[in-house]
Amino acid sequence: MPLSFILDTDPGIDDAAAIAAALFSPELKLQLITTVAGNVSVEKTTRNALQLLHFWQADVPVAQGAATPLLRPLRDAAYVHGESGMEGYDFVDHQRQPLAKPAFIAIRDALMSAPEPLTLVAIGPLTNIALLLTQYPECKFNIRRLVIMGGSAGRGNFTPNAEFNIAIDPEAAERVFQSGIEIVMCGLDVTNQALLTPEYLATLPEVNQTGKMLHSLFSHYRSGSMGSGLRMHDLCAIAWLVRPELFTLRPCFVAVETQGTWTAGTTVVDIENRYERPENAQVALDLDVDGFRQWVAEVIALAP
């Protein structure tokens, strides 16, 4: 049976590739997409999610989520993804609309109506997940596990120590890591290894219409710097669902720093158990890069 799951996302160019894998991996069944402010505003991430679903003629409901972090103003990444969040491809007009309820309620409803616990995958800031766990704490018993793209056991990509998704809403991340739910953390330790080569990227337009669309987006990702390849950060969370054997995980205690001008958003990953605290996450520390690239090529080829 395919694994049923909910995807919380902030599309975003690399999110587009992750959504493709979420839809077309035969091992998966995507039940719901929820959007959050992150790479760009939540209005834009919602529009982008709906555009992608219309492109693929996919029948998956979308619920719009939090417009701002819990306690902070939004700092987006339009400088990476373009002003719209998905610059580079002209999507056709459509009449699709999000559900008439906010993301955290849509997630609650999906969890409570499912016949068995569902997996959540979050590849943006964790604001919606924190709201869910705060407003409906009973829902955590209906969550099989949470797989996130976020954090780092080493250096950051937004500040010297903090990864973008965690740094945008560290208070939300702190609540999630303290919640007691099972967490798989695919952070920069593995996502920085998830590099698609320039040679493969150049072949995408010949694969199918999805390849053409992704190549157009990638040509505008990080100002079109495909010459050295592209890191597919968000795809790692989907890859773990389908090919967990590609990842080396270690159970760790993870704390999220919410204070400090220079340190807010840092994930403190206690790999050597120096704090002697119970582990609260399975942290991915290494990746089979060749296996990852092979899986990406296979799943993109399965898309329309």
Give the active site residues: 233
Do strands 183-186 and 195-196 pair parallel, antiparallel, or not at all (unpaired)?
A: unpaired
Give the residue among 200, 122, 202 at the shortest CA–CA distance from 166. Answer: 122
Task: Give the E-state strand segments of the chain in sequence order.
Answer: 3-9, 28-35, 62-64, 118-122, 143-149, 183-186, 195-196, 230-231, 247-256, 267-270, 281-287
Residues 6+ apart with CB under 8 A from 19: 7, 9, 11, 33, 49, 52
**Residue 247 is which amino acid?**
F
Question: Would you call 67 helix, strand, or coil by DSSP?
Answer: coil
288 Rama class: left (phi>0) / alpha (psi -120 to 50) / beta: beta
Instruction: Answer yes or no: are the C-beta atoms of 184 and 148 closer than 8 Å.
Output: yes
Tokens 């340190």 correspond to 263
Which residue bears the tokens 């959007």?
35
